[in-house]
Amino acid sequence: MLKKKDRHSILIDDHELVYYRCGQGEPLMLVHGITTYSFIWRMVVPYLNDNFELIVVDLLGCGDSDKSIDVEFSLKNHAKILAKFLEALHVSKVHLVGHDVGGGICQIMSVRYPENILSLSLLNTVAYDFWPVQPIITMRTPIIRQLAMASLDLGAFRFIVKRGLYHTERLNKELMDYFWYPMRSSDGRKAFLYFSHCLNNQDLLEISDDLRRLQIPVLIIRGDKDVYLSQQIAEKLHKNIQTSRLVHVPSAGHFIQEDEPELIAQFLLTFLLR
């Protein structure tokens, strides 16, 4: 669980960034993806905070962080803001763990600031140009369009979340409340849509060569039941990055932290503490 006593906020470029900081050890930053925020890590954190100092961040426009859309929410800019954020926290060396588009941000940080990154772990991550045009089989509607509709309708949003889970029976009111929380205000909806609007394949395509040259250890975790992101992404990353390991989790969907929190924590600990 993320505890209120661990909650902090900091101004980066005049925008408030909310984060949780807890645990002892080498710094490890957990970066969420789109449609989620820090809450997605709440069940993973207890397994890691004995060995690492965890930094769980709400990206701009998400969770409790600033919702104003006068800054670009592109992955590139998020990476830049997070680098400034770590600098402000005086964290010079950090392990990165990213989920979904958070994985994309972490990839950019790894190639832009290689001297500061100790390792990179990617959970159901985006990469290259395999997203966000992945069609939804039933509706043939681009995922961004579906996200747009979902921002207006709890039912549609619930549908998206449910499709992202392997253990669909775990989708209770509490979990749905976590997901829906930013959509309750017009500002939250606007920031969310702006975020998806700013997503651009180009950001990740242009670092594909740099990724090949990565020297730090890389862990790729793939939930086999993720219907939103293609299996090819994980495979291509693993093929291109020499230092990478690929792990499959058969019993996990897109929101892998909800499906198998203990399992992925064990994978992370094995990878990071070796």
Partner 1 sequence: MDDRKNKIRVLEDRVKILEEENNALSNRVEEMLLLNLINESFESITDETVLLQSVLEKISILKNITYCACYDYSSGKCICIVQYCALLNIEPCQGALLFSNELIEEFNHEPIIRFKVKQRPDAFNFVHTDNLFEPNEFLALTFHTRILEKGVFVFISNGNSAATFSTDLHPFHQIIQIVVEKWDRLCLLNELQKLNHELEDRVKSRTKELQQSEEKYRQLFNVANDAIFLWEIVNEEMIGCIELNDAAHKLTGYSLDELATINPFMLIDDKYSEKEKRILEKKFLKPSSIYKATIKGKYKPISLEVHTRRFSLLNRELILAICRDISEQQAYERSIVEARNKAVESEKLKSAFLANMSHEIRTPMNAIVGFSELLGQDKMSENEVKMYSDIIFKNSMHLLNLINDIVDYSKIEAEQVHIYNEAININELISELSINMISMLHNASKNHIDVLTHTPLNNSASVILTDGTRLRQVLSNLINNAIKFTDKGFIEIGYKVKEAFLEFFVRDTGIGIEKEHQEKVFERFVQLRNEQAVNVGGTGLGLAICSNLVEKMKGKMCLSSNSGKGSTFYFTIPYVVND
What residue ranges bind partner 1 (CB under 8 A)?
A: 68-70, 72, 139-141, 145, 148-149, 151-153, 156, 186, 189-190, 193-194, 197
Nearer to partner 1, 153 or 206 (CB): 153
Cross-sheet strand order for the sheet of 244-249 = 7-12, 15-22, 52-57, 26-31, 94-100, 117-125, 218-223, 244-249
DSSP 3-state of 128? coil
Q: How far is the CB of 9 from partner 1 (least distance, A)?
A: 20
Nearer to partner 1, 189 or 245 (CB): 189
Look up tokens 């790894």; give the residue.
Answer: 110
- The pair of structure tokens assigned to 170 is 């775990």
Q: How far is the CB of 190 from partner 1 (least distance, A)?
A: 7
Amino acid at position 48, single letter: L
Q: How far is the CB of 139 from partner 1 (least distance, A)?
A: 6
Residues in the chain: 274
Distance, C-alpha 142 to centroid of its chain: 20
**Rounded distance between C-alpha atoms, residue 258 and residue 207, angstroms:** 30
Q: How far is the CB of 66 from partner 1 (least distance, A)?
A: 10
Nearer to partner 1, 183 or 263 (CB): 183
Nearer to partner 1, 49 or 68 (CB): 68
- What is each CA distance from 214 to 119, 175, 238, in whole angstroms? 10, 36, 12
Q: Is residue 71 within 8 Å of residue 60, measured between CB atoms? A: yes
Nearer to partner 1, 89 or 156 (CB): 156
Q: How far is the CB of 15 from partner 1 (least distance, A)?
A: 11
